[in-house]
Amino acid sequence: MSNLAKHFKCPCGSTKFEEVMENVTVLSEVDYVDSQGFVDYGEQSNENGDVSHFQCVTCGKPILCEDGSYAKDGDLADVLRGSRGSDNAVD
């Protein structure tokens, strides 16, 4: 099975994208708190939540479906395979 994430290339030049979630609970393990109150975190876990969209890590340009809507989990593979035109953040 090929890694379709390798097909991503944003017009800004970045080859990394991220998932943006909403309505999610994030639990972060606290490793250290200094005397000024700075907190250093360890492991993180997410509970519940929905995928809002996928976007370029560098510039935030969203990955879009052919109809202009945000690509969600079920759409992402098709978009990364190149079903969208060159105006999308995909090579």
Cα 57 to Cα 17: distance, rounded to the nearest angstrom: 5
**What is the pLDDT of the chain when averaged over all its residues?**
87
Residue located via tokens 């992402």? 76
Higher pLDDT, 49 or 74: 49
Q: What is the pLDDT of residue 82?
A: 79
Give just the sign of the alpha carbon dihedral 33, 21, 10, 62: negative
* Tally of CA atoms within 13 A in the half-sphere of 8 that contains its CB: 22
Are the beta carbons of 42 and 3 closer than 8 angstroms?
A: no
Residue 89: band (very low, low, confident or very high) from pLDDT cuts 50, 70, 90: low
Query: What would the pLDDT profile of 18-58 be if each residue is shown by its tens digit?
Result: 999 999 999 999 999 999 999 999 999 988 998 899 999 99
Cα 59 to Cα 50: distance, rounded to the nearest angstrom: 22
Query: What percentage of the chain exceeds 90 in pLDDT?
Result: 59
